[in-house]
Amino acid sequence: MPSSTVCWGIEVGAAAVKAIKLEMGSDGPRVADYALIPHARVLSEPDVDPDDAKRIALNRLVNEYDLSGATIAVSVPGHSAFARFAKLPPVEQKKVPQIVKFEAVQQIPFPLADVEWDFQTFQDPESPDVEVGIFAVTKERVSGDLALLAEVGITPDVVTLSPVAVYNAVAFDLEFTEKTPGTVLLDVGTTATDLIIADSGRVWVRTFPIGGHEFTQALVEAFKLSYPKAEKLKRDAEQSKHARQVFQALRPVFSDLAQDIQRSIGYYQSLHRDADLSRLIGVGSTFQIPGMRKYLKQQLGLNVYRLERFKKLPVEGPQAAEFESLAPNLTTVAGLALQGLGLAALNANVIPVQVVRDAMWRRKTKWFVTAAGLGLVAAGSLFIGPFLSQTKLDSIVPDESIDRAISLGSRLTGEANAAGVTSPMENNFAAANIIDLLDQREVFGWLASDASNMVSAGSDHKFELVSLASEYRYLGEGEQAPQGVERADPFENEPQDAGRGGRGRGRGVAPDPVERPTRGERGGGGEAAKPGEPRVAVEMVISSDVAREDLDEIITASITKWINANARRGDAPYTLRMDEDAPAWTIVDGGDSPGSQTTRPSIRDTRSARTPATGGRRGLASPDDERMEAFRRMQQEDRQSGNLVGGGAAPPAAQVRQSNQAMSAELDKIAPLPRPEDSGNGATFVVRFDAVLKWNPASKGGGA
């Protein structure tokens, strides 16, 4: 989870990428680091690809500065967003959100379903009126910005508007209250200007399309210069020997800027007759153009100041002087970082809810994997002691008299079985299966990551992962492994009889008497699987907003497509496969559907289900009688030859279930799965697939 005491504020501007890192100390926030990475060319220049320029600067930021472990707050330019203000009728506090939503429908020029929005209320202590500020940005715009950040590995926790961040920075540094004199904040950027009015506890915002680009373009047209040369002349106008001609060329743009400011102030005062605005504070690099402060003071009749430094954001060390000179350019990012630390006056956050959930889930994944590994080790320790003891006993060479007694007993047991005197013996493979889990424990971290990717891939619909269950199983004879899975033959160089199967890690597997078609005969590909092929059966329960009649198409185009596309990956410890003989999905809640019938038992039911004699999956359930008969014959022959295999009774099924339940309860405490919201008319469904492990018995000591 990101730290609540450290925050990076990041602004991707038209001239540069700016960032600041604030740390919360005992005496308040302090500047721990900052960055100003200019673009090679200003994004407002002709023939510049803005996305490429932003991507290059952001890559420099993540490579040169450590952003890990901190909260990340980013901004959306004011000219790409909406800020609307309205007075609310007198209503109870609990009804304010409903009234605000009604106002949002009236004020925002887009359907609410197409925007991300937030609001904040303002109230003068001396007035009963309540005002609301509604801040919104289109989903298309915010998704594009977040996608660009995701390309370089940045996932923000806060997304707000640039004018909101400017207000938060200045209000914190100058300690704004309801008694603070009416103040106009002016952030003159490269392509637009944000005007923020702070008056009697209220905030009002307007953005108009005049910025540094218009000043540069005026010089290009007046002196027939290239854009970069005009940009340089604008910054160095005072030192130029043609200063008078430069100011004369810039005068029309100064006039347009002053007129827009006057109109904005006049409109605000028409809404608030008691407003008393006495000063203007400018920020941003364009506000440093020589002559701007003097011209605005003459035209507006206000005291005009420029933010020179931050009083309440100290910097220690040799960077202090440089940081002070950059303060006017870092106002927006300072406000972003303050909001990330919880020190902002305005807390509008327009980040999509799904992005927040995905980020929380990714941050929990490593803890979930660690907890799962600890749980597997704890479960395996219940069986490792008896297993080691049995291995030590198996290494003892028995006396000849013991062999004779065993041989006699085996012969008598075989005669009794042939006569039908004894009942079939049931064998339990739970201990051996759980020991094998320790050899493949990294698999479950991969499964957790894959499950998160599946529910967020390839669809605009809302998918929520309710639960993820998995169970270690073995492929039975006749089942097929996917193409491309390389494995060693577990029976290579081992003598075989017609009446017995191979052995692997103490488990006898008899040949299946039922002849089944291969995958190639059923229309698939791949070679026949060997007995004892390990795999993990996975069951994902997913809540969705998809209607029942559309579910099959949506799942096929998203989750099933993702599984097929990522079935074979060189770095993954398994290959994904979906069962051809069972539906790809099963409805759990949402009504009847053809997909709700399935021939594959749930993972939760396999311990009590018998494996059919015609083949299928082998979980922790008992094998069929014919397999058991072959297994007993193999035990008899082993004892006669002096090779004692296995031994030791497996724990009762009730004990295994109790242990698994206790383990699951501990995992839920450490890393609880997020709870999905009510999906409305959607359906909750189950997707099942297999992760066939790339397991080579030779890597486990031969497996014999």
d(CA 179, CA 557): 59
pLDDT of residue 163: 95
Q: Using CA atoms, how far apart are residues 429 and 503, in angstroms rounded to an integer?
A: 13
CATH of the domain at 331: 3.30.420.40
Pairwise CA distance, residues 260 & 270, whole Å: 15
Out of 331, 351, 371, a domain closes at 351
State the Cα–Cα distance between residues 498 and 278, nearest whole angstrom: 101
Give the residue-averaged pLDDT of 501-530. 36
Which of 653, 690, 650 minimizes the C-alpha distance to 540? 690
| Nearest-5° Cα angle at 496, 490 to 500 | 95
Whether the predicted pLDDT of 30 surpasses 80: yes
Quickly state the pLDDT bin for 637 (edges 50, 70, 90).
low
User: Helix, strand or coil for residue 282?
Assistant: strand
Q: Sheet containing 202-208: which strands, arranged edge to edge?
A: 202-208, 193-199, 182-188, 277-283, 303-306
> Is-contact 75 11, C-beta < 8 A?
yes
Of 351, 368, 391, which marks where a domain is finished?
Answer: 351
User: Measured between alpha carbons, how far is 138 from 349 in angstroms, rounded to an integer?
Assistant: 13
Question: Domain boundary residue among 351, 382, 414?
Answer: 351
Q: Which of the listed ranges 311-315, 337-341, 352-356 does the model predict with the highest average pLDDT? A: 337-341
CA 117 – CA 101 distance, rounded (Å): 10
Q: Are 338 and 375 in the same domain?
A: no
Neighbours of 621 (CB within 10 A): 20
Please state, rounded to an integer, the average pLDDT across all residues of the chain: 75
pLDDT digits (tens, 9 = 90+) for 41-55: 888 888 889 999 999
Is the dihedral angle over the CA atoms 697, 698, 701, 702 positive or is it negative? positive
**Residue 608 or residue 124, greater confidence:** 124
C-alpha 351/C-alpha 158 separation (Å) is: 6
Phi, psi of 26 (to 5 degrees): -65, -30
Are residue 338 and residue 400 in the same domain, yes or no? no
Sequence-separated (6 or more) residues with CB below 8 Å from residue 664: none
Estimate to the nearest angstrom the gap between the alpha carbon of 539 and the chain centroid: 21
Write out the DSSP string of 190-229: SS-EEEEEEETTEEEEEEES-SHHHHHHHHHHHHT--HHH
- Kindly indicate the confidence band of residue 642, based on its pLDDT and cuts at 50, 70 and 90: very low
Helix (H) or strand (E) holding 257: helix 243-271
pLDDT at 137 over 90: yes
pTM for this predicted structure: 0.54
DSSP label at residue 528? B
Quick one: pLDDT band at residue 160, thresholds 50, 70, 90? very high
Residues 337 and 363 in one domain: no
Average pLDDT of span 114-143: 86
Stated length of the chain: 704
Tell whether 384 and 303 lie within a shared domain.
Answer: no
pLDDT band at 521; cut points 50, 70, 90: very low
402 and 290 assigned to the same domain? no
Give DSSP secondary structure letters for 565-601: HTS--TTSSEEEE--TTS-SEEEEESS--GGG--SSP
Residue 336 and residue 367 in one domain: no
Q: How many CB atoms lie within 10 A of CB 5?
A: 14
How far is the C-alpha of 479 from the C-alpha of 474, rounded, in Å?
Answer: 10
Model confidence at 462, in pLDDT bands (50, 70, 90)?
confident
Quickly tell me which residue has 């980020």 as its tokens. 359
Does the pLDDT at position 168 exceed 80? yes
Do 218 and 208 form a contact (C-beta atoms < 8 A)? no
- For residue range 343-390, what is the model confidence (pLDDT) as tens digits? 999 999 999 887 777 666 555 555 555 666 666 666 665 656 666 666
Q: Structural domain tally of the chain? A: 2
More confident of the two residues 390 and 491: 390
Range name among 70-74, 182-186, 484-488 with the lowest pLDDT average: 484-488
Report the range of poorest mean pLDDT among 228-242, 340-354, 379-393, 560-574. Answer: 379-393
347 and 479 belong to one structural domain? no
First-to-last C-alpha distance (Å) of the chain: 46
Which of residues 376 and 448 earns the better pLDDT score?
Answer: 448
Model pLDDT for residues 646-659, shown as the tens digit of each residue: 333 434 445 545 55
Same-domain pairing of 369 and 290: no
pLDDT of residue 402: 78
Instruction: Answer yes or no: do 122 and 242 share one domain.
Output: yes
Q: How confident is the model at residue 140 (pLDDT cuts 50, 70, 90)?
A: very high
Helix, strand, or coil here: 70?
strand
The yes-or-no verdict on residue 331 having pLDDT over 80 is: yes
- pLDDT confidence of residue 287: 86
Residues 263 and 379 in one domain: no
Q: Are 537 and 523 in contact (CB under 8 A)?
A: no
User: Do 294 and 381 reside in the same domain of the chain?
Assistant: no
Six-digit token string for 33: 């680091």
pLDDT of residue 58: 95
Instruction: Please list, in sequence order, all residues whose beta carbon lies within 8 angstroms of the beta carbon of residue 509, skipping any fewer than 6 positions away.
Output: 477, 501, 502, 503, 531, 532, 627, 631
**Residue found by looking up tokens 């017995």 in the block:** 500
Interacting residues of 248 by C-beta distance below 8 A, sequence separation 6+: none
Task: Return the number of other C-beta atoms located less than 10 Å from residue 413's C-beta.
Answer: 17
Higher pLDDT, 481 or 575: 575
Structural domain including 473 reads 359-423+431-700
What would the pLDDT profile of 283-295 be if each residue is shown by its tens digit?
Answer: 988 888 888 899 9
Do 331 and 166 contact (CB within 8 A), yes or no?
A: yes
What share of residues in the chain are helix, strand, coil (percent, to 5)?
Answer: 40, 20, 35
Q: What is the pLDDT of residue 473?
A: 62
Same domain for 178 and 297? yes
Other Cβ atoms less than 10 A from the Cβ of 628: the count is: 17
